[in-house]
Amino acid sequence: MNALLFLFSAFTALSLLSNYASACCAVAPPGQRVVNADQSVIIIWDEASQTQHFIRKASFTSNSSGVGFIVPLPSQPSLAESGAAAFPRLATITAPPVRRPPSIPLSCAAAPTSYSVANGVEVLESKRVAGFDATVLTADSGTSLAKWLSSHGFALNPDVAAWAAPYIRDHWCFAAMKIAKPLPSDPQLDAASLRLSFKTSRPLFPYREPASSSAAASLGKSSRLLRLYFIASRAHNGSLGDHLPWSGYPVWSGDISPHRSALLADLNLPDSTLPGRWWLTEFEDRWPYATAPGDLWFSPAPHNIRLNRYTPLPPLDLSLPAAALATGALRLRRSARRPR
Q: pLDDT tens, 70-81?
A: 889 999 999 998
For the chain, how are helix, strand and coil distributed in percent, rounded to 5? 25, 35, 45
CA distance 335 to 150: 64
What is the per-residue burial (b if ≥16 Cβ within 10 Å, else e) of 40-77? bbbbbbbbeeebbbbbbbbebbbebebbbbbbbbbbbb
Q: Looking at per-residue confidence, does 337 or 155 come out higher?
A: 155
Mean pLDDT of 307-326: 51
Provide the CA 184 distance to its chain's centre, in angstroms. Answer: 34
Residue 339 belongs to some domain of the structure? no
Check pLDDT > 90 for residue 90: yes
Residue 234 belongs to some domain of the structure? yes
Q: pLDDT tens, 6-49?
A: 333 333 332 322 222 234 544 445 455 444 457 889 999 999 99
The residue segments making up the domain with residue 172 are 3-97+105-334
Residue 258 belongs to some domain of the structure? yes
Task: Please state the pTM of the whole predicted model.
Answer: 0.73
Query: What's the residue count for the chain?
Result: 340
pLDDT of residue 162: 84
Percentage of the chain modeled with pLDDT above 70: 61
pLDDT of residue 228: 95
pLDDT of residue 155: 59
Q: Looking at per-residue confidence, does 297 or 218 come out higher?
A: 297
Residue 111 belongs to some domain of the structure? yes
Residue 176 belongs to some domain of the structure? yes
Percentage of the chain modeled with pLDDT above 90: 37
> Strands, E, within 146-268: which ranges?
173-179, 194-199, 204-205, 224-232, 236-240, 249-255
pLDDT of residue 181: 66
Q: pLDDT tens, 142-181?
A: 888 888 888 887 655 677 788 888 999 999 999 988 777 6
**Helix intervals (H) in 152-212:** 158-169
Q: What is the count of structural domains for the chain? A: 1
**Among 225, 216, 209, 228, CA closest to 24:** 209
Task: Give the pLDDT band of residue 215 (cuts 50, 70, 90).
Answer: low
Q: For the ranges 46-50, 133-137, 182-186, 253-257, which has the lowest average pLDDT?
A: 182-186
Mean pLDDT of 113-123: 72
Residue 158 belongs to some domain of the structure? yes
**Residue 270 burial class via C-beta count within 10 angstroms: exposed 0-12, middle 13-18, buried 19 and up:** exposed
CA distance 284 to 39: 10
Type of residue found at 236: H
Name the DSSP letter for residue 76: P
Residue 11 belongs to some domain of the structure? yes
